[in-house]
């Protein structure tokens, strides 16, 4: 009989339940426990979500039946909780960013290597089938040499001065916000699809709301939009709502990314255009099953997600036939399929197909250089 792999999820905000749902759609995995610092909250959420055990983090580490820990807490806890989970011999799937400081991320990379345990960072956007298809098409030469890259990631859930979340507080989230929160996904996806590395950055940030009105009670990510009249206190904001970063790549060509969390009507929209010598790809996360392929000598093309039209490596990420749309929740399911295959083997593969702690470290490094560039108002090498 196939062994059941037991998982625990730490954190019950926006993304913890998304991990749970994805895991429940895969065979032979049981999410056995939910953890929160506040055990009463853990019990309440475990009951609502139908999870057998509610633990504090320490209690969970002491349970030998837990094989994998998903860290879905605010950013400042990622380092210490990933470290303790690895030291307790558990495989770890950590939310991005892997840590809030580069040295911490480095330490986690070494520790995970030393332990040989499976380690992954939830860069789930890589798992849209069309993203894998773009990567495969580029690898097969269908894009040609890359001339330029233009990306954006826009949201509106922090648009109003009254929108508030722990991500606005550097002691919980880190020194960067829009770049660390959504720019990290965009930059990871850019390097993943193109196979290029960013070598230098020139960044300019702006904080549109210099102060925000903080609700007196805590609210979960995205749910602030639902707040009624309430009591607020005015607090200063020190992280960026918007950023533009010019990029230099290791093939000598250039690009740019713009991220913003204050763009009305843009709910959660990553858009990337990669111009090559043979084609031009444009993909948008809000229409994830479509790819625009620009051509010079013939008519442009429009590819729709369909396993029969995809390269086989990308078709493996599709669970439904063409015309049956897959989306955000499917990305985590597809990622965990690959991660849990490694867990079943009991160790990190030599060449993991999924994003690892090393990828988490890389994103933190780029992010830190971007902050440095903004502060110096100068180009900074990665």
User: Does position 21 bind ligand SOE by CB under 6 A?
Assistant: no
Rounded least distance, CB 271 to ligand SOE, Å:
14
User: What whole-number distance in Å separates Cα of residue 249 and Cα of residue 201?
Assistant: 9
Count CA atoms within 13 Å of residue 13 on its CB side. Answer: 20
221 binds ligand SOE (CB under 6 A): yes
Q: Name the DSSP class of 97.
A: S
Region from 181-189, 209-217, 348-356, 360-368 binding ligand SOE, contact rule CB under 6 A: 181-189
Q: Is 198 in the site for ligand SOE (CB under 6 A)?
A: no
- When asked if residue 358 is in the footprint of ligand SOE (CB under 6 A), the reply is no
Q: Is 244 in the site for ligand SOE (CB under 6 A)?
A: no
User: Residue of minimal CB distance from ligand SOE?
Assistant: 181
Report the residue number, 85 or 182, with the smaller CB distance to ligand SOE. Answer: 182
Three-state DSSP class for 231?
Answer: coil
- The residue among 55 and 164 lying less far from ligand SOE, judged by its C-beta, is 164
> 344: closest CA among 26, 132, 10?
26
Q: What angle do CA 343, 346, 351 make, to 5 degrees?
A: 75
Out of 69, 105, 182, 335, point to the residue binding ligand SOE (CB under 6 A): 182
User: Of residues 4, 14, 225, 349, which one binds ligand SOE by CB under 6 A?
Assistant: 14
Please say which residue, 32 or 185, places its beta carbon nearer to ligand SOE. 185
- Residue from 104, 163, 169, 181 in contact with ligand SOE (CB under 6 A): 181
Q: How far is the CB of 277 from ligand SOE (least distance, A)?
A: 32
> Cα–Cα distances in Å, from 38 out to 89, 327, 355?
24, 32, 30
Cα 302 to Cα 300: distance, rounded to the nearest angstrom: 7
Please report whether residue 188 would count as binding ligand SOE according to CB under 6 A. no
Other residues' Cβ atoms within 10 Å of the Cβ of residue 57 = 22
Map the footprint of ligand SOE across residues 111-170, applying CB under 6 A.
155
Give every CB contact of residue 37 below 8 A, 6+ residues apart in sequence: 56, 57
Q: Is 172 in the site for ligand SOE (CB under 6 A)?
A: no
Are residues 290 and 305 in contact, defined by beta-carbon separation less than 8 angstroms?
yes
- Interface with ligand SOE (CB under 6 A), residue from 251, 256, 268, 353: 268
Classified as helix, coil or strand, 121 is: strand
| Contacting residues toward ligand SOE, per CB under 6 A | 14, 155, 181-182, 185, 221, 268
């Amino acid at each position: 009989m196939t062994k059941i792999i037991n998982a625990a999820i730490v954190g019950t905000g926006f993304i913890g339940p998304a991990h749970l749902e994805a895991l429940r759609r895969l065979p032979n995995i049981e999410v056995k426990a939910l953890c929160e610092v506040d055990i009463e909250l853990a019990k309440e959420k475990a009951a609502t979500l139908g999870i057998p055990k509610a633990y504090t983090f320490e209690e969970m580490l002491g349970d030998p039946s837990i094989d994998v820990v998903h860290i879905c807490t605010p950013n400042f806890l990622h380092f210490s909780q990933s470290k303790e989970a690895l030291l307790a011999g558990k495989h770890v799937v950590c939310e991005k960013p892997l840590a809030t400081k580069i040295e911490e991320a480095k330490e986690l990379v070494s520790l995970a290597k030393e332990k040989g345990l499976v380690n992954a960072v939830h860069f789930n956007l890589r798992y849209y089938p069309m993203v894998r298809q773009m990567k495969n098409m580029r690898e097969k030469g269908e894009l040609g040499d890359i001339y330029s890259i233009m990306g954006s990631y826009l949201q509106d859930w922090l648009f109003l001065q009254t929108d508030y979340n722990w991500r606005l507080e550097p002691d919980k989230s880190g020194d960067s916000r829009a770049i660390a929160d959504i720019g990290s996904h965009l930059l990871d996806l850019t390097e993943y699809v193109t196979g290029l590395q960013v070598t230098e950055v020139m960044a300019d940030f702006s904080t549109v709301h210099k102060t925000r009105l903080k609700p007196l009670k805590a609210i979960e990510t995205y749910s602030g939009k639902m707040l009624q009249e309430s009591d607020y206190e005015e607090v200063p904001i020190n992280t960026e709502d918007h950023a533009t970063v010019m990029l230099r790549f290791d093939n000598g060509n250039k690009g740019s990314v713009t991220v913003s969390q204050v763009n009305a009507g843009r709910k959660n929209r990553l858009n990337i255009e990669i111009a090559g010598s043979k084609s031009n790809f444009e993909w948008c996360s809000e229409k994830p099953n479509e790819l625009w392929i620009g051509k010079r000598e013939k008519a442009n093309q429009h590819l729709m997600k369909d396993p029969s039209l995809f390269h086989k490596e990308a078709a493996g990420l599709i669970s439904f036939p063409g015309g049956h749309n897959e989306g955000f929740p499917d990305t985590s399911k597809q990622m965990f399929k690959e991660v849990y295959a490694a867990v079943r083997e009991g160790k990190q593969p030599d060449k993991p197909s999924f994003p690892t702690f090393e990828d988490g470290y890389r994103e933190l490094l780029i992010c830190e250089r971007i902050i440095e560039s903004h502060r110096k108002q100068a180009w900074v090498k990665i």
